[in-house]
Amino acid sequence: MDNPPRTLERPNLRSGLPLWTSEIQQLLRGYRFRGVDDPPNLPRAAVALVLRDGDRGSEFIAIHRAHRHGDPWSGHVALPGGRHQPGDSDLVGTAIRETREEIGVDLDKNADLVTELDELRAVGRGQLLDLVIRPVLFVLRNPVSLSPNPAEVQNALWIPLAVLRQDAHSTSSPRKPVGSAHPAVEFRGYTIWGLTHRILSRFVELVTSQRETPA
């Protein structure tokens, strides 16, 4: 597995009550995402943040990407997703198609679309990329089986959002200069860092801020 080699624990203040899917749906109902406009007309991609309730609150689908030459996120833990294709109706359609292709989950039939989340500029191997990623939030309404496509995905699993709120670390990466560090979390031998950690951290912070904002 292509994960950073060491982790150093650090405090994380994002603690509190578990986040459940019904609360997340209520808090983010009608949320209007913020786009990335500078520079304009960059290609878009979408990832699917798919939630269900588990023992520790909401949990999301993560994939362990296959090792592929030329892929800046080769071997990383990620969310299902990919670049927008001409046949996609929109970026929600991109997220739905990629989830079906990568892990065999049909979100059209088995999940409710909650909202689109704030876009972010992609970074790969420490470099700013000409790609903007829009996360799309779904909540399952039916049980599903995860069936990874071996050409793209080594494994797929459910990870509690609580991991993002309680088990933060700093990690060093062999792909960064010596002494550099960035946030990461670990779950059952998998390390979530880089782009995926940015997406998930921003999501947890958004939900937490919505929870703490008086109605």
Distance (Å, whole) CA 76 – CA 66: 8
Q: Which domains does the chain have, with CATH numbers?
A: 18-163+195-209 (3.90.79.10)
Coil, helix or strand at residue 27? helix
What does the DSSP assignment read for 57-103? Answer: EEEEEEEEE---TT-TTTT-EE-SEEE--TT-SSHHHHHHHHHHHHH
User: Residue 213 burial by CB count (10 A; 0-12/13-18/19+): exposed, middle or buried?
Assistant: exposed
pTM of the entire predicted model: 0.85
Distance (Å, whole) CA 148 – CA 154: 7
Whether 21 contacts 52, CB under 8 Å: yes
Tens-digit pLDDT string for the chain (215 aa):
344 433 333 333 344 678 999 999 999 999 999 999 878 789 999 999 999 999 989 999 999 998 776 666 567 899 999 999 999 999 999 999 999 999 999 999 999 999 999 999 998 767 788 999 999 999 999 999 999 999 999 999 999 999 987 545 545 444 444 445 678 899 999 999 888 999 999 999 999 999 887 66
